[in-house]
Amino acid sequence: VKKAPTIRDVAATAGVSVSVVSRVLNPESGPVAPAKREAVLRVIDELGYRPRAAARELSVGHTPTIGLVVADLANPFFAQLADRIVWEARGHGVQVMVMTTQEDPYLEADSLDTLLDRSVGGVIATPTGANVEKWARLQSLGVNVVFVDRTIPELSGVDVVSIENVGSARRATEHLLGLGHKRIGLISGPVSTSTGRSRIQGYQSAHENFSISVDPQLVRDVPFRGDGGGDAVGSLLALPDRPTGLIVANTAQVQSSVRRLVQMGTSIPGDLSVIVFDDNPWTELTSPPLSAIRQPIDMLAVHSLELVLGRMQGKLPAAPRTIEVNADFVPRSSCAPLLLSPTR
């Protein structure tokens, strides 16, 4: 257990001053004689020297690190998102501190404090919806904030990357309406969130296009957290006039909802045609494979990273940007025409 060598050790054994070593490490900061450069590099390798991040950070004032504040790593969607972002970031030489909120505002606040302490230059997050002041404070301290998937409308000045929510929900709904379904359940996120509202709006818009009125009973806005999806499924199917179609538009609740459907032994698409928002690797391994709105996770990752990094380098216009990427509808066998469902 010996202690790591410092820049001074390197300088000493290489017979030069610390500034020379520093310049070898950061070439753009000044010239250095080829001969000495070689010598220094050799010593660095011999000693296994590595600059300490903390010291550098303290000196330069910032760190090539961003924070990633994600709702729940146990959910395939967020896990994959994290995976892609971490991957992409590495390519740009920036580290990522991954934190999870479990949809809890307090944990979220905690995470933000931690990220502040570590003076990250930017944060990519799927916000819980609370902590508005805290987010604002982050911004005022120069931390670039990018929201992905969801957003907080009350907060101005943040970049947002998400899928085209209204359109995606409309398309999913129209697909079922087109199959003849009249009563379509919708499990969305909280109406307090942009995502929740947009998807409900798309759902309604589709109904208008088909001149069908929507039964408010069929729309369930459930929290991201907990087992709201499963419960909503239960109560929707317990309705006297139960729906023949179901759209799970709350990504965080897809697992919970599908689990309940399977537990209840619901015949899909016999009794119920279903579409879920989020095409994770297991969606097509269920029986039957589930039709899904595929969130292009790569695009979400690439764009959000591009935005934070761009801002950190000041290479972007001041105005906050909103990027909406297209989400494909992936039809599979969990949807069937209403008339062909003999059960009802």
Whether the ω angle into residue 243 lies within 30 degrees of 0, i.e. cis, is: no
Question: Which range in 21-29, 43-51, 214-222, 232-240 contacts a copy of itself by CB under 8 A?
Answer: 43-51
Q: Is 284 in the site for a copy of itself (CB under 8 A)?
A: yes
148 CB-contact burial (10 Å; exposed 0-12 / middle 13-18 / buried 19+): buried
Question: Which range in 66-74, 207-215, 242-250, 312-320 contacts a copy of itself by CB under 8 A?
Answer: 66-74
| Binding at 302: pick from DNA, a copy of itself, none (beta carbon under 5-8 Å per type) | none
| Interacting residues with DNA (CB under 7 A) | 3, 6-8, 16-20, 22-23, 25-26, 29-33, 35-36, 49-52, 55-56, 58-61
Phi-psi region of 157 (alpha: psi -120 to 50; beta: other; left: phi over 0): left
| Binding at 93: pick from a copy of itself, DNA, none (beta carbon under 5-8 Å per type) | none
Two structure tokens written together for 182:
């009249």
Two structure tokens written together for 4:
């790591």
Two structure tokens written together for 270:
């016999």
Cβ 105 to a copy of itself shortest distance, Å: 15
Two structure tokens written together for 253:
């609740």
Binding flags for a copy of itself, 105-134, as an x/- string (CB under 8 A): --x--x--xx-xxxx---------------
String of DSSP letters for 128-157: -S--HHHHHHHHHTT-EEEEES---TT--S
| Binding at 73: pick from DNA, a copy of itself, none (beta carbon under 5-8 Å per type) | a copy of itself
d(CA 235, CA 221): 13
Binders of a copy of itself among 73-102, rule CB under 8 A?
Answer: 73-74, 76, 79-80, 82-83, 86-87, 90, 95-100, 102
Distances (CA, A) of 173 to 162, 166, 183, 308, 341: 19, 11, 10, 34, 18
Residues that bind a copy of itself (CB under 8 A): 1-4, 48, 50-55, 57-58, 63, 72-74, 76, 79-80, 82-83, 86-87, 90, 95-100, 102, 107, 110, 113-114, 116-119, 137, 140-142, 255, 258-259, 262, 280-282, 284-287
